[in-house]
């Protein structure tokens, strides 16, 4: 490893499994101390134990402001600082425009869009005081295509994250805080195992689905000094399913 994150600390939401876990593992290998936040603290704790020294798991519900503030405070209390925030936690339940229930809409939007807002809001005072920070949001291919394989609330929430990323980047740039996003396509996780994704998988120009590690490598680039002059951008990791 190249120690690109040596001496830095990261809080990663949804870190117990899938993409979040891959990001946490890679960041740790690159020298970061990592707080693995998840609504399921058991999976976060188990992953942190596998990573070893410099990692710990904590319970965090990104849709609840009190839980978010407690998680950010806990991370800073343990590490003394917070350099990197990865807003990865997500939730997908396939719906259509006709059968989407109001409670499903609220939960999907709360986790996928309100969550990144609340976590960033909680991290701003600390990062601003230190005049440094890198925030990586997780949007989606669905934000750019309408999300017919994911459903309207998920697509709308992820499109909101894309726009929030630009707004955050403009607002926080004077404080030395960079904000960027990743838009994964079909990545092999539990979230994309539903039949609705089969047609998308078959149409990937590069010929195969992505792996969580592919997204993790992009997150590392956006979190480290390799991207020190990049902010307000969204990087597609989709094997060519969407090109712009």
The predicted structure's pLDDT at residue 200:
78
Asked, for residue 217, whether it belongs to a domain, the answer is yes
Active-site residue, 171 included: no
Asked, for residue 179, whether it belongs to a domain, the answer is yes
Asked, for residue 243, whether it belongs to a domain, the answer is no
Look up tokens 């020298």; give the residue. Answer: 31
Asked, for residue 233, whether it belongs to a domain, the answer is yes
pTM: 0.96
Residue 56, classed as helix, strand or coil, is strand
pLDDT bucket at 1, cuts 50 / 70 / 90: low
Asked, for residue 242, whether it belongs to a domain, the answer is no
The predicted structure's pLDDT at residue 57:
98
pLDDT bucket at 38, cuts 50 / 70 / 90: very high
Look up tokens 């990743």; give the residue. Answer: 182
Look up the domain containing 97 and give its range: 9-237
Total count of domains within the chain: 1
Asked, for residue 163, whether it belongs to a domain, the answer is yes
Dump the DSSP string for 221-244. Answer: HHHSGGGTT--S-EEEESTTSS--
Q: What is the mean pLDDT of residues 200-228?
A: 94
Residue 61, classed as helix, strand or coil, is coil
User: What is the 8-class DSSP label of residue 196?
Assistant: G
The predicted structure's pLDDT at residue 203:
86
Question: Rounded to 5 degrees, what angle do the CA atoms 214, 35, 184 make?
Answer: 25
The predicted structure's pLDDT at residue 225:
98
Look up tokens 């969407």; give the residue. Answer: 242
Which CATH number goes with the domain that contains 47?
A: 3.40.50.720
**Nearest CA-CA partner of 224 in 158, 132, 139:** 132
Q: What is the pLDDT of residues 88-122, one digit of tens each?
A: 999 999 999 999 999 999 999 999 999 999 999 99
Q: What is the pLDDT of residues 45-72, one digit of tens each?
A: 999 999 999 999 999 999 999 999 999 9
Catalytic annotation, pick one of 27, 79, 91, 154: 154
Q: What is the pLDDT of residues 147-196, one digit of tens each?
A: 878 899 999 999 999 999 999 999 999 999 999 999 999 999 876 666 66
Asked, for residue 57, whether it belongs to a domain, the answer is yes
Asked, for residue 107, whether it belongs to a domain, the answer is yes
Residue 197 has pLDDT above 80, yes or no: no
In contact, 139 and 91? CB cutoff 8 Å: no
């Amino acid at each position: 490893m190249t120690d690109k994150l040596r001496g830095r600390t990261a809080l990663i939401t949804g870190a117990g499994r899938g993409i979040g876990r891959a990001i946490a593992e890679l960041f740790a290998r690159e020298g970061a101390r990592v707080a693995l936040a998840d609504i399921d603290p058991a999976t976060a704790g188990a992953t942190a134990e596998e990573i070893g020294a410099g990692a710990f798991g904590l319970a965090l519900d990104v849709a609840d402001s009190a839980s978010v503030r407690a998680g950010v405070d806990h991370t800073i209390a343990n590490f003394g600082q917070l350099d990197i925030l990865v807003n990865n936690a997500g939730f997908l339940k396939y719906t259509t425009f006709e059968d989407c229930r109001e409670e499903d809409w609220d939960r999907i939007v709360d986790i996928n869009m309100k969550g990144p807002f609340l976590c960033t809001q909680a991290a701003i005072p600390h990062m601003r005081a230190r005049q440094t920070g890198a925030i990586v949001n997780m949007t989606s291919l669905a934000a750019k295509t309408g999300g017919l394989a994911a459903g309207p609330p998920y697509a709308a929430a992820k499109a909101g994250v894309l726009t929030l990323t630009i707004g955050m980047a403009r607002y926080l740039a004077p404080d030395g805080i960079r904000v960027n996003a990743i838009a994964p396509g079909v990545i092999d996780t539990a979230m994309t195992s539903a039949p609705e994704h089969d047609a998308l998988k078959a149409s990937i120009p590069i010929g195969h689905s992505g792996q969580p590690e592919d997204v993790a490598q992009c997150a590392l680039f956006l979190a480290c000094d390799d991207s020190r002059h990049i902010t307000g951008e969204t990087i597609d990791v989709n094997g060519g399913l969407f090109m712009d």
